């Protein structure tokens, strides 16, 4: 991941900022009648009110709420109301959703009848923001984002983002997102993008322009699938005259046309500093449906967390990837390959510092794995406990990893030999719910002669760490 938002832009955190249902201030003395309810008493929802609807269509709100009517006890009412509220939040229709449950009144009220009132506030037609960003090549950029939420009243949104960098990089993306009604939370996304990136460690830079179609749904409560089609034109060029000739040979334009499937099972309690649960992500990509780039790529990322004792979390991560050529007609470019090394994949090594290289430029490999074992603790003496201090963690880690060439036979043997190992200690800082920053002191233990190691202080920003 090349770029990280310094400011949290994630959907989830923005719209779920008020996770707990806010307390409604009721002055019980002024109420005409108060009734104490046991949680398991029978209950029936007579009416659901929704206040504050404007351009939002009724059917999508009804669809999210109708499950509440099936509740039979008060506990179920509470539970289902909470679920419905989360569902409304996930549709990103409203800025704020609050719920108020009361006994039902009026002539049609039944004996155990309840009335549920949702108070919602719709998002504005257009919301936008300007912020700054630091990429991992020390390029600062200005980002202008513009979003039109809930365009047609059923949660459709249009998002655009444009960034202009201090090195004249010019990136944009335009996405249209359409959630559908139904149990499996289907979401359709269509977008176009332009993205520039520079890789000094490999001696090349590239401009990507393409379009992405994504269809996401849940096949089970926790199994999330994304089916994607990505068509992308990549213009690659060398960074300087000193770049290796092997890199120069790959210059030019290529067209990648790829199908991708991503399976995610996320059972963690938090995305950045989880204390329990695990995450599994499997990505399969087939490039070569048209275009002149072709490969079959399988990646996995596994993370497991165990809470040892109060605030001590043991985390194990393992990631790996394996890719194949398909036929001689289709190419695999430098930008498609796997790279190992750097603060996100193998600490104690420079970015792309492990694996084949030519004149100092990393050329990538067809197979890799890397793993890590972390022990996270809060800051010593716990400054800012419960508040600011929760953004920080100290960690002890051990990393290991290796690369291999899939063209030769013994991939496992290759991965076992000359394993790279490093360890260290550092501080990790959470940036919103999206990314984290790490400052580590690293000790590379096992490395090859050609590897570019980084002993001592290493700084990393990213989304997915090993």
Q: Does 194 bind other proteins (CB under 8 A)?
A: no
Q: Does 260 bind other proteins (CB under 8 A)?
A: no
Q: Which tokens sit at 40?
A: 């398991």
- Measured distance CA(360)–CA(204) in Å, rounded: 12
Q: Does 245 bind other proteins (CB under 8 A)?
A: yes
Residue 245 CB, nearest approach to other proteins (Å): 7
Q: How far is CA 113 from CA 43, 47, 106, in A?
A: 6, 8, 10
Q: Taking CB under 8 A as the rule, which mask of x and - marks residues 291-320 in contact with other proteins?
A: xx----------------------------
Residue 296 CB, nearest approach to other proteins (Å): 18
Residue 58 CB, nearest approach to other proteins (Å): 43
Residue 244 CB, nearest approach to other proteins (Å): 10
Segment near other proteins (CB under 8 A), from 104-112, 235-243, 307-315, 374-382?
235-243
DSSP-based three-state secondary structure for 254: strand
Residue 209 CB, nearest approach to other proteins (Å): 9
Contacts of residue 66, defined as CB under 8 A and 6 or more positions apart, other chains included, come to: none
Return phi, psi of residue 368, to 5°. Answer: -155, 165
Residue 242 CB, nearest approach to other proteins (Å): 9
Q: Does 280 bind other proteins (CB under 8 A)?
A: no
Nearest to other proteins of 58, 253 (CB atom):
253
Strands (E) in 35-155, as ranges, are 44-51, 94-103, 113-122, 127-135, 140-148
Q: Does 221 bind other proteins (CB under 8 A)?
A: no
Segment near other proteins (CB under 8 A), from 81-89, 145-153, 272-280, 286-294?
286-294
- Measured distance CA(308)–CA(275) in Å, rounded: 9
Residue 124 CB, nearest approach to other proteins (Å): 38
Indicate which single residue of 57, 87, 100, 248 sits in contact with other proteins (rule: CB under 8 A). Answer: 248
Nearest to other proteins of 237, 389 (CB atom):
237
Q: Does 253 bind other proteins (CB under 8 A)?
A: yes
Nearest to other proteins of 202, 250 (CB atom):
250
Closest CA to 330 of 244, 404, 229, 257: 257
- Measured distance CA(305)–CA(375) in Å, rounded: 10
DSSP-assigned states of every residue in 18-50: S-SPPPP---TTT-S------TTSB-EEEEEEE
Nearest to other proteins of 33, 328 (CB atom):
328
Residue 291 CB, nearest approach to other proteins (Å): 5
Indicate which single residue of 90, 119, 251, 281 sits in contact with other proteins (rule: CB under 8 A). Answer: 251
> Strand order in 94-103's β-sheet?
44-51, 113-122, 94-103
Segment near other proteins (CB under 8 A), from 213-221, 246-254, 265-273, 304-312?
246-254
Segment near other proteins (CB under 8 A), from 95-103, 192-200, 241-249, 315-323?
241-249
Closest CA to 256 of 320, 190, 326, 345: 326
Q: How far is CA 446 from CA 351, 398, 399, in A?
A: 17, 12, 10
Q: Does 252 bind other proteins (CB under 8 A)?
A: yes
Q: Does 325 bind other proteins (CB under 8 A)?
A: no
Percent of the chain that is helix, strand, coil (3-state, to 5): 10, 50, 40
Indicate which single residue of 38, 51, 59, 249 sits in contact with other proteins (rule: CB under 8 A). Answer: 249
Indicate which single residue of 52, 113, 200, 237 sits in contact with other proteins (rule: CB under 8 A). Answer: 237
Return phi, psi of residue 38, to 5°. Answer: -80, 155
Segment near other proteins (CB under 8 A), from 105-113, 134-142, 287-295, 333-341?
287-295
Q: Does 255 bind other proteins (CB under 8 A)?
A: yes
Indicate which single residue of 127, 233, 239, 304 sits in contact with other proteins (rule: CB under 8 A). Answer: 233
User: What count of other Cβ atoms lies within 10 Å of the Cβ of residue 1?
Assistant: 12
Indicate which single residue of 19, 35, 168, 241 sits in contact with other proteins (rule: CB under 8 A). Answer: 241
DSSP-assigned states of every residue in 322-354: EEEE-TTTSB--GGGSB-B-BTTTBTTB-TT-B
Residue 255 CB, nearest approach to other proteins (Å): 4
- Measured distance CA(39)–CA(101) in Å, rounded: 13
Residue 237 CB, nearest approach to other proteins (Å): 7
Helices and strands in the chain: count of H runs, count of E runs: 5, 22
Q: How far is CA 289 from CA 232, 317, 321, 330, in A?
A: 12, 33, 21, 10
Residues that bind other proteins (CB under 8 A): 233, 236-237, 241, 245, 248-255, 290-292
């Amino acid at each position: 991941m090349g770029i990280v938002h310094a400011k949290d832009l994630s959907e989830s955190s923005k719209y779920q900022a008020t996770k707990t249902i806010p307390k409604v201030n009721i002055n019980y003395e002024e109420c005409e009648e108060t009734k104490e309810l046991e949680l398991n008493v029978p209950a029936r929802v007579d009416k659901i009110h929704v206040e504050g609807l404007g351009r939002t269509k009724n059917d999508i709100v009804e669809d999210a709420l109708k499950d509440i009517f099936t509740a039979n006890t008060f506990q179920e009412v509470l539970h289902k109301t909470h679920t419905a509220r989360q569902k409304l939040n996930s549709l990103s229709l409203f800025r704020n959703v609050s719920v108020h449950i009361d006994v039902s009144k009026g002539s049609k009220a039944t004996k155990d009848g309840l009335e549920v009132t949702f108070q919602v506030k719709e998002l504005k037609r257009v919301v936008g923001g300007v912020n700054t960003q630091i990429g991992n090549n020390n390029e600062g950029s200005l980002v202008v984002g513009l979003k039109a939420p809930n365009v047609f009243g059923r949660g459709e949104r249009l998002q655009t983002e444009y960034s202009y960098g201090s090195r004249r990089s010019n990136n944009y993306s335009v996405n249209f997102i359409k959630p559908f009604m139904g149990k499996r939370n289907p979401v359709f996304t269509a977008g176009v993008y332009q993205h520039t990136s520079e890789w000094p460690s490999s001696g090349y830079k590239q401009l990507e322009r393409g379009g992405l179609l994504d269809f996401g749904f849940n096949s089970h409560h926790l199994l999330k699938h994304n089916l994607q089609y990505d068509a992308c034109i990549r213009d690659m060029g060398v960074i300087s005259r000193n770049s290796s000739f092997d890199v120069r040979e790959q210059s030019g334009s290529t067209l990648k046309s790829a199908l991708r499937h991503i399976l995610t099972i996320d059972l963690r309690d938090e995305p950045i500093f989880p204390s329990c649960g695990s995450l599994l992500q499997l990505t399969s990509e087939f490039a070569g449906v048209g275009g002149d780039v072709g490969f079959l790529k399988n990646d996995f990322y596994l993370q497991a967390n165990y809470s040892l004792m109060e605030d001590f979390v043991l985390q194990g991560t393992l990631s790996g990837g394996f890719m194949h050529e398909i036929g001689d007609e289709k190419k695999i470019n430098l930008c498609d390959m796997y790279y190992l090394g750097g603060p996100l994949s193998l600490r104690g090594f420079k970015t792309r510092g492990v694996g084949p290289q030519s004149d100092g430029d990393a050329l990538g490999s067809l197979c890799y794995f890397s793993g890590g074992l972390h022990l996270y603790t809060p800051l010593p003496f716990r400054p800012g406990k419960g508040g600011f201090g929760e953004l920080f963690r100290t960690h002890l880690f051990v990393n290991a990893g290796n690369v291999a060439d899939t063209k030769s036979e013994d991939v496992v043997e290759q991965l076992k030999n000359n394993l790279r190992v490093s360890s260290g200690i550092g501080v990790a800082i959470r940036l919103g719910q999206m990314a984290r920053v790490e400052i580590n002191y690293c000790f590379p233990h096992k490395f090859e002669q050609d590897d570019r190691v980084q002993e001592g202080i290493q700084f990393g920003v990213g989304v997915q760490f090993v």
